Amino acid sequence: MRVLVYNEDKNRMERYELSLGDRMPYIKNKYLTLKEFKGSTKSKILWTTKKTMEAFNTTRERWRNPIYVGYAFKRIFEGGHSGQSQHYAGVSFDTSQTLSVKKRTELYNLAKKLKVWTYVEPLRLTPRWLHFDKRATPPACSAGYPALKRNDKGVYVLVLQDALNTLGYSTGGLDGVYGSATNTAVQAFQKKYSINESGVKCKTWTKLSSLVVGKGKQKNSKIEYY
């Protein structure tokens, strides 16, 4: 199974071929396996970032116990989460479904204290699990994904490519690089829906999400690795 990792330190995409029982790239001591990160997705390709994996390492080391991961990665067309969910970017975890309220609260307090996550969701919003993620900021809209431009790299480019491919706009592959093919696909999409933006900003993300999230494979889809 293929795993793509955006290495923020070197601004490059890295590719790994792993088995389900293997630990995720940059993960220590099998704190998180590919099987755990994959969860219920049927995808044959997954993606995340180096800093997301490092944040999980830190949290696991300080917690000193296994962290049960109920939900992590999903493809945007599979759905299961909100319109611009960080799960589709591979930087988000819904955890601790097996813990008592007391223990889950302790882990929540630790996750907040460590300051390795961009966002730790308040427990009042997640009464049966604990959500934390390493989302990029600032978002293009009030919440959600960041703005993108030509030559950008990373997991949000992968979400963009995945969404465009789902709608039949070929990006030339899932590589996480906003190159010429992706740019052509973006411009064709924007032209069809009369979106006047340079690069990908709030209007483009909002329209893409509304057309793709949870809708599955469509008539002209060019979905890859699924």
pLDDT, averaged in runs of 10, over the chain (226 residues): 98 98 98 98 98 99 98 95 94 98 98 98 95 98 97 99 97 97 98 97 98 89 87
Q: How many residues does the chain have?
A: 226
Q: Please say whether the beta carbons of 74 and 67 come within 8 A.
A: no
For 64, the domain range is: 2-133
CA distance 164 to 168: 6
Whether residue 70 is contained in a domain is answered as: yes
Give pLDDT, residue 83.
Answer: 84
Residue 219 lies in a domain: no
Give residue-wise pLDDT tens across range 6-29.
Answer: 999 999 999 999 999 999 999 999
47 found inside a domain: yes
Q: Is residue 165 part of a domain?
A: no
CATH code for the domain of 38: 3.30.1380
- Asked whether residue 11 is domain-assigned, the answer is yes
Does residue 187 fall inside a structural domain?
no
The pLDDT tens digits of the residues spanning 136-176 come to 999 999 999 999 999 999 999 999 999 999 999 999 999 99
Confirm whether 100 is domain-assigned: yes
| 51 is a domain residue | yes
Q: What is the CB neighbour count within 10 angstroms for residue 124? A: 6
Strand partners, 93: 132
Model pLDDT, residue 53? 99
Q: How many domains is the chain partitioned into structurally?
A: 1
